[in-house]
């Protein structure tokens, strides 16, 4: 398996790193050869040290699916209150399938990457039309929002399918265990490389436990920075620890960061705030409200004296600087607003009834205080 994968990676233009490549190949083979020792050591640690998480208590297919969707791109601590609320409001696939999109989006408000919520909703509706859920990773990948990682997580945990989950955590662990020194184009290329090794480490009848143990190790011990090698249950199998500098694995090509500037406006009148609602087909923000951009209103860059706040945020490889300016309504502006269905006046008292994107909800709360004072 490892030899086949080496061919694939060379084809994609990633040069093997000479001696370290031979070293990591030998280390991969050795790790797989020792899997009968590796897995018990990992599982014994997981049984004792796993975190108590609501989707692990009385687990069900529904809890697994919802948690896997929430945990894509989101930390466990951030997802926890959302998960608890979601379970109370939408306790199973049937209730979720019948819920309105507005309710689903409101429950997701602030968690970001809103296509996950829409896909989860669609997935529940797709399952509602079937007598039984699919069981294989390939069949799950036919459903909305399910990629190889999520399919492996769901089917291994819920149906004991021997499919390895290979996310950033697992890539990091395997790169360190094997001392893999090659430079990967990105996380997907690295995941592709390590999938055969991750699959080979799955033995026995509880692949879901194995996958969760690997992810738990990556989240709590084999940390990106300052890994806790002294308490690591698989330290005896680890090439990077022996090298003395585990943090340098995995080697991923640095992302090209792109700077973007956005000019937004705060236009308030008679207890109402002007907001823009993204159109229903928008990939990320469909149906969500945000402060409008100056260009939505065909406005030139506003006067610097009217600047209210500058906000910075990072989304994937973009560093975005958003400047928010106070804007007064004029007759020309009134016409523009009247002719654009996506622009709406929303009562400040009713902001909790609509779904704002996470950062805009925070900014609006801050700016309401600021504008009042």
Q: Which residues are catalytic?
A: 68
Residue 311: Cβ-neighbour burial (10 angstroms; 0-12, 13-18, 19+): middle
Residue whose CB is less far from ligand SF4, 170 or 275 = 170
Give the whole-angstrom CA distance, residue 61 versus residue 123: 13
Least Å distance between CB 25 and ligand SF4? 18
Residue whose CB is less far from ligand SF4, 111 or 166 = 166
Find where tokens 């504008």 sit: 371
Give the whole-angstrom CA distance, residue 103 versus residue 116: 14
Q: With contacts defined by CB under 6 A, how many residues of the chain interact with ligand SF4?
A: 15
Contact with ligand SF4 (CB under 6 A) among 227, 263, 267, 294: 227
Q: Which of residues 333-352 bind ligand SF4 (CB under 6 A)?
A: none
Residue 131: Cβ-neighbour burial (10 angstroms; 0-12, 13-18, 19+): exposed
Stretch that binds ligand SF4, among 44-52, 233-241, 268-276, 365-373 (CB under 6 A): 233-241
Letters for 171-190 (x = contact with ligand SF4 by CB under 6 A, - = none) are --x--xx-------------
| Beta-ladder partners of 184 | 252
- Supply the angle between the helices 18-33 and 187-200 in degrees, to the nearest 10: 30
Confirm or reject binding of residue 215 to ligand SF4 (CB under 6 A). no
Residue 51: both structure tokens together:
């975190």
Residue whose CB is less far from ligand SF4, 29 or 125 = 29
Contact with ligand SF4 (CB under 6 A) among 79, 104, 146, 238: 238
Could you tell me if 172 and 218 are in contact, meaning their C-beta atoms sit under 8 angstroms apart? yes
Is the Cα dihedral 197, 220, 41, 163 positive or negative?
negative
Find where tokens 């601590």 sit: 77
> Which residues have C-beta within 8 Å of that of residue 86, sequence separation ≥ 6?
66, 70, 107
Could you tell me if 115 and 283 are in contact, meaning their C-beta atoms sit under 8 angstroms apart? yes
Find where tokens 């291994």 sit: 156
Could you tell me if 111 and 79 are in contact, meaning their C-beta atoms sit under 8 angstroms apart? yes
Letters for 12-51 (x = contact with ligand SF4 by CB under 6 A, - = none) are ----------------------------------------
Confirm or reject binding of residue 222 to ligand SF4 (CB under 6 A). yes
Stretch that binds ligand SF4, among 1-9, 158-166, 240-248, 252-260 (CB under 6 A): 240-248
**Other beta carbons within 10 Å of 284:** 14
Confirm or reject binding of residue 229 to ligand SF4 (CB under 6 A). yes
Least Å distance between CB 93 and ligand SF4? 37
Contact with ligand SF4 (CB under 6 A) among 63, 121, 210, 241: 241
Letters for 119-158 (x = contact with ligand SF4 by CB under 6 A, - = none) are ----------------------------------------
Site residues, ligand SF4 (CB under 6 A): 173, 176-177, 221-222, 227-229, 232, 234-235, 238, 240-241, 246
């Amino acid at each position: 398996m490892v030899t086949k994968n080496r061919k694939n990676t060379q084809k994609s233009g990633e040069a093997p790193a000479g001696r370290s490549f031979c070293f990591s190949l030998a280390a991969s083979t050795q790790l797989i050869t020792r899997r009968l020792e590796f897995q018990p050591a990992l599982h014994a640690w997981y049984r004792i040290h796993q975190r108590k998480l609501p989707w692990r208590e009385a687990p069900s297919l529904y809890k697994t699916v919802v948690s896997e969707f929430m945990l894509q791109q989101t930390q466990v601590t951030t997802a926890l209150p959302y998960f608890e609320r979601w379970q109370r409001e939408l306790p199973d696939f049937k209730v979720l399938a019948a819920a309105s999109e507005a309710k689903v989006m409101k429950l997701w408000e602030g968690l970001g990457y809103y296509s996950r919520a829409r896909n989860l909703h669609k997935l529940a509706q797709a399952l509602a039309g079937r007598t039984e859920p699919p069981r294989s990773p390939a069949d799950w990948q036919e459903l909305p929002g399910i990629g190889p990682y999520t399919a492996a997580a769901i089917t291994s945990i819920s149906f004991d399918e021997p499919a390895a989950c290979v996310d950033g955590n697992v890539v990091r662990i395997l790169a360190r265990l094997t001392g893999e020194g090659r430079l990967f184009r990105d996380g997907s290329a690295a995941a592709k490389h390590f999938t055969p090794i991750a699959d080979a480490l799955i033995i026995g009848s509880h692949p879901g436990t194995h996958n969760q143990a690997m992810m738990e190790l990556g989240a709590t011990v084999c940390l990106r920075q300052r890994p806790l090698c002294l308490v690591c249950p698989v330290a005896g199998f680890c090439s990077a620890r022996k090298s003395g500098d585990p943090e340098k694995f995995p080697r991923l090509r640095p992302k090209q960061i792109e700077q973007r500037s956005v000019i937004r406006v705060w236009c308030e009148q008679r207890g109402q705030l002007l907001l823009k609602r993204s159109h229903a087909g928008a990939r990320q923000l469909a149906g969500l409200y945000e402060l409008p951009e100056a260009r939505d209103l065909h406005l030139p860059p506003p006067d610097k004296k009217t600047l209210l706040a500058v906000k910075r945020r990072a989304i994937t490889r973009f560093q975005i600087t958003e400047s928010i300016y106070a804007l007064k309504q004029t007759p020309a502006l009134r016409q523009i607003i009247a002719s654009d269905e996506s622009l709406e006046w929303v009562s400040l008292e009713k902001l909790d009834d609509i779904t704002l994107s996470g950062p805009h909800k925070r900014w609006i709360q801050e700016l309401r205080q600021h504008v009042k004072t």
